Amino acid sequence: MCITILELPKFTKYTTLATAMVVSFAGAAFSTTVDPTVGTFGDISLVGTTAPKSYFGGAGISTDATNYKVFTDRLGNALLLGLSITPRFSAVTPVNDNDGSFDVELGVVSGFTGWNFSFYTELLEVVRPDLSIGDIEVELLYDRDSAADTDLSDLGVLDLSIFAAPEALISQGSFNLMHGFLSSPFPGVVMPALDSFSPDFGEYSFLIRANDFTPASMEGIGVIADAGPSPVPLPAALPLLLVALGGLGYVGRRPAQGA
């Protein structure tokens, strides 16, 4: 038997201050669904420091339709969080409402939807020595339930710290809901409680958050991808009724004998 011993990082990851509960302060309760209107909607490259045209882990991905916000923890460290819905390769660019919601292309192209959910995180100001993205529990919540307004407790959770390079101040990437590791057991992934995903319809919400920087479990930056309503199924008896009506019409059109 081979046993591997992993060395603990120099700085232990922050602990999440609140999980799986709604916190209320002075009568104001946090929403249990994603609110895409929280944050600033615009070009995240005006705030982040990544080289131009290399955001979201790829070259040439547009940054001008991103929901983002800078959060500060109790020590003064500043963290930029951003989310966007972006086209996959040469697919049609999602149409945004300038407030965090996007209308996306339906269907599958080369095994995936034509749109991705893309994230960007960056430590803009570091007060704590040697603090890096890998020391922070940055989570990306994703939705595979086609119904609208999916509760946060039913979303899948992706631990983004596993994608961060050692001592990195920036972590970014782009995922597709049809990536296999988002719908099957995978390290760093908590599977969604509800899964009725379809590339042809549904409303899908996404949220990025980070422990001490977004202290309430419901707080963070979110976006919504809208693929349109699900088709209304025909009543089971309707085809039989149409056949019967067609038969009556045929009988009505028969010429009377002897005419």
**How is the chain split into domains, by residue range?**
29-253
| Cβ neighbours for 180, distance < 8 A, ≥ 6 positions apart | none
pLDDT higher for 68 or 246? 68
245-257 mean pLDDT: 50
Task: From 124, 137, 128, 203, select the one nearest 170 (Cα to Cα).
Answer: 124
Phi, psi of 46 (to 5 degrees): -75, -15
Cβ contact 120:56 at 8 Å: yes
92-110 mean pLDDT: 95
Rounded to whole angstroms, what are the CA distances from 26 to 23, 29, 204, 219? 10, 9, 31, 16
pTM comes to 0.78
* pLDDT tens string 187-212: 999 999 999 999 999 999 999 999 77
- Quickly count: other Cβ atoms within 10 Å of residue 80's Cβ: 21
Strands of the chain (E only): list them. 24-25, 28-29, 40-42, 66-72, 78-87, 95-96, 101-103, 108-109, 112-113, 115-125, 138-142, 156-159, 170-175, 189-190, 203-210, 221-226
